[in-house]
Amino acid sequence: MDVTMVLFASQGYNSTGINQIISEANVAKASFYQHFKSKEDLCVAFLNARHVYWFNELNNFISDKKVMKSKILSSFDYLIYMNSKENFRGCSFLNILSEIPADNLKILNVIQDHKKDLRHFFSNFISEEGLSDHIYMLFESSIIESQMFKSNELIEKSKVIVNNLIN
């Protein structure tokens, strides 16, 4: 999984081959295929592992905040933290989404589930659906913009907007 994470992040899903993963992970081809039937299955496992890791890190990052508003604002700080930690890699889920065919429902469903969970993360704090969705969209767009421009500027601006939106 570690090798897969590095290769998918640095080369992309389509440009990373099974043979390269097997070689760099130093595993036997038979061992690999005992765990994963295909590159698609490996991608699903990678995304599921990334989902667990990402949400665990997010929840740990905001765990010391007691007030709902602080938790939400800290979630934007988490993006800045992840940008520093992962050099503006962006969202693994959206990166892979841009590379898969529209009819690859196996991978698409995992990506959609991750985004539903993120949307639910915000709705757990804010019961007003419109406001919760607005914050979710600011969060998502902050990820994309920060990756594209290698800057946290719009994350900081989104935090100001969110601070003004929440009473």
Q: What would the pLDDT profile of 111-127 be if each residue is shown by its tens digit?
A: 999 999 999 999 999 99
The CATH number of the structural domain formed by 39-165 is 1.10.357.10
pLDDT greater at residue 164 or residue 167: 164
Residues in the chain: 167
Domain range list for the chain: 39-165
**CA distance readout (Å), 41 to 4, 45, 103:** 12, 6, 15
Q: Of 97, 92, 81, 106, whose CA–CA distance to 6 is shortest?
A: 92
- pLDDT score of 167 more than 90: no
**CA distance readout (Å), 74 to 48, 59, 79, 162:** 24, 10, 9, 11
Query: What pTM did the predictor assign?
Result: 0.94
